[in-house]
Chain A
Amino acid sequence: MEPFTTHTGIGVPLRRSNVDTDQIIPAVYLKRVTRTGFEDGLFSAWRQHEDFILNREPYKRGTVLVAGPDFGTGSSREHAVWALMDYGFRVVISSRFADIFRGNSAKQGLLAAQVAQDDVELLWKLLENQPGTEVTVDLRERTVQAADLTVPFQIDDYTRWRLLEGLDDIGLTLRHEAEISAYEAARPSRMPTTVQL
Chain B
Amino acid sequence: MAPTTTRPRTLAEKVWDDHLVRKGEDGEPDLIYIDLHLVHEVTSPQAFDGLRLAGRKVRRPDLTVATEDHNVPTIDTELPIADPVSRTQVETLRRNCAEFGVPLYPMNHAEQGIVHVVGPQLGLTQPGMTVVCGDSHTSTHGAFGAMAFGIGTSEVEHVLATQTLPLRPFRTMAINVNSEDGRLRPGVTSKDVILAIIAKIGTGGGQGHVLEYRGNVIDNLSMEARMTICNMSIEAGARAGMIAPDETTFAYLKGRERAPKGADWDAAVEAWRQLRTDEGAQFDREVDIDADELTPFVTWGTNPGQGLPLSERVPDPADFADENERVAAERALEYMDLEPGTPLRDIKIDTVFVGSCTNGRIEDLRSVAEILDGRKVADGVRMLIVPGSMRVRAQAEAEGLDKIFTAAGAEWRSAGCSMCLGMNPDTLSPGERSASTSNRNFEGRQGKGGRTHLVSPLVAAATAVRGTLSSPEDLS
A and B associate in one complex: yes
Q: Say yes or no: B43 contacts A77, CB within 8 Å.
A: yes
CA distance A184 to B305 in the complex (A): 41
Contacts of A20 on B, CB cut-off 8 Å?
A: 303, 440, 442
Given contacts A15-B327, A81-B152, A183-B21, contact A98 B207 (CB under 8 A): yes
Residue A26 lies at the interface, judged by CB distance under 8 Å to chain B: yes
Q: Say yes or no: A74 contacts B440, CB within 8 Å.
A: yes
Contacts of B45 on A, CB cut-off 8 Å?
A: 33-34
Given contacts A76-B135, A98-B204, contact A190 B267 (CB under 8 A): yes
Chain B residue, CB-CB nearest to A46: B443
Q: Say yes or no: B63 contacts A193, CB within 8 Å.
A: yes
> Per-residue 0/1 for B139-170: is the Cβ within 8 Å of any A Cβ (1 yes, 0 no)?
00000000000111111011001111010100
The one of A30, A31, A69 in contact with B324, judged by C-beta atoms closer than 8 angstroms, is: A69
Q: Say yes or no: B260 contacts A190, CB within 8 Å.
A: yes
Q: Say yes or no: A73 contacts B85, CB within 8 Å.
A: no
Interface size class of B (residues with CB under 8 A): 35 or more
- Distance (whole angstroms) from the CB of B29 to the closest CB of chain A: 6
- Distance (whole angstroms) from the CB of B299 to the closest CB of chain A: 13
Q: Say yes or no: A31 contacts B89, CB within 8 Å.
A: yes
Q: Say yes or no: A180 contacts B164, CB within 8 Å.
A: yes
Q: Say yes or no: A100 contacts B21, CB within 8 Å.
A: no
Q: Say yes or no: B150 contacts A194, CB within 8 Å.
A: no
Contacts of B378 on A, CB cut-off 8 Å?
A: none
CA distance A173 to B22 in the complex (A): 10
Residue A99 lies at the interface, judged by CB distance under 8 Å to chain B: yes
The one of A30, A74, A157, A193 in contact with B62, judged by C-beta atoms closer than 8 angstroms, is: A193
Residue B36 lies at the interface, judged by CB distance under 8 Å to chain A: yes
Q: Say yes or no: B21 contacts A195, CB within 8 Å.
A: no
Within 8 A of A (CB), among B14-50: 21-22, 27-29, 31, 33, 35-36, 42-43, 45-46, 49
Residue B194 lies at the interface, judged by CB distance under 8 Å to chain A: no
Contacts of B423 on A, CB cut-off 8 Å?
A: 27-28, 30-31
Contacts of A76 on B, CB cut-off 8 Å?
A: 43, 134-136, 150-152
CA distance A177 to B59 in the complex (A): 11
Q: Which of A81, A176, A189 has most chain B Cβ within 10 Å? A: A176
- Distance (whole angstroms) from the CB of A147 to the closest CB of chain B: 24
The one of A22, A33, A180 in contact with B162, judged by C-beta atoms closer than 8 angstroms, is: A180
CA distance A183 to B161 in the complex (A): 16
Contacts of A77 on B, CB cut-off 8 Å?
A: 42-43, 152
Residue A6 lies at the interface, judged by CB distance under 8 Å to chain B: no
- Distance (whole angstroms) from the CB of A24 to the closest CB of chain B: 10
Residue A179 lies at the interface, judged by CB distance under 8 Å to chain B: yes
Q: Say yes or no: B151 contacts A100, CB within 8 Å.
A: yes
Chain A residue, CB-CB nearest to B54: A170
Given contacts A100-B136, A194-B63, contact A26 B36 (CB under 8 A): no
Give the A-B pair count, Cβ closer than 8 A: 201
Q: Say yes or no: B65 contacts A78, CB within 8 Å.
A: no
Chain A residue, CB-CB nearest to B83: A31
Contacts of B70 on A, CB cut-off 8 Å?
A: 27, 30
Q: Which of A98, A186, A188, A190 has most chain B Cβ within 10 Å? A: A190
Chain A residue, CB-CB nearest to B29: A158
CA distance A18 to B203 in the complex (A): 8
CA distance A174 to B152 in the complex (A): 19
Q: Which of A15, A18, A79 has most chain B Cβ within 10 Å? A: A18
CA distance A104 to B64 in the complex (A): 21
Within 8 A of A (CB), among B325-356: 325, 327-328, 331
The one of B64, B65, B86, B325 in contact with A31, judged by C-beta atoms closer than 8 angstroms, is: B86
Given contacts A78-B43, A192-B36, A194-B124, contact A26 B444 (CB under 8 A): yes
Chain A residue, CB-CB nearest to B135: A76
Given contacts A99-B208, A194-B65, contact A173 B42 (CB under 8 A): no
CA distance A51 to B381 in the complex (A): 35
The one of A18, A27, A32, A187 in contact with B303, judged by C-beta atoms closer than 8 angstroms, is: A18
CA distance A173 to B267 in the complex (A): 32
Contacts of B28 on A, CB cut-off 8 Å?
A: 158
Q: Say yes or no: A192 contacts B443, CB within 8 Å.
A: no
Given contacts A33-B45, A183-B33, A194-B63, contact A100 B92 (CB under 8 A): no
Given contacts A68-B324, A76-B152, A194-B65, contact A169 B124 (CB under 8 A): no
- Distance (whole angstroms) from the CB of A162 to the closest CB of chain B: 10
Given contacts A73-B237, A180-B164, contact A78 B153 (CB under 8 A): yes
Contacts of B43 on A, CB cut-off 8 Å?
A: 30, 76-78
> Per-residue 0/1 for B414-443: is the Cβ within 8 Å of any A Cβ (1 yes, 0 no)?
000000011100000000000000001011
Contacts of B166 on A, CB cut-off 8 Å?
A: 169, 172-173
Q: Say yes or no: A31 contacts B85, CB within 8 Å.
A: yes
- Distance (whole angstroms) from the CB of B203 to the closest CB of chain A: 6
Contacts of B76 on A, CB cut-off 8 Å?
A: none
Q: Say yes or no: B324 contacts A17, CB within 8 Å.
A: yes
Contacts of B328 on A, CB cut-off 8 Å?
A: 16-18
Q: Say yes or no: A173 contacts B158, CB within 8 Å.
A: yes
Q: Say yes or no: B204 contacts A69, CB within 8 Å.
A: yes
Within 8 A of B (CB), among A93-136: 96, 98-100, 103-104, 107-108
CA distance A174 to B59 in the complex (A): 11
Residue B226 lies at the interface, judged by CB distance under 8 Å to chain A: no
Contacts of A70 on B, CB cut-off 8 Å?
A: 203-204, 237
Can you list the 7 inter-chain pairs with the closest CB atoms, starting with the nearest? A107-B154, A104-B152, A78-B152, A33-B45, A194-B65, A76-B150, A190-B264
A-B contact pairs, 20 of them (CB 8 A): A16-B331, A18-B203, A18-B303, A23-B442, A30-B70, A30-B423, A32-B89, A33-B89, A69-B324, A70-B203, A74-B136, A78-B134, A78-B154, A99-B207, A103-B155, A157-B27, A179-B31, A183-B21, A194-B62, A195-B61
List 10 additional A-B contacts (Cβ < 8 Å) besides A77-B43, A184-B163, A194-B36.
A16-B327, A18-B303, A32-B89, A75-B440, A98-B204, A100-B239, A169-B154, A173-B162, A190-B264, A190-B267
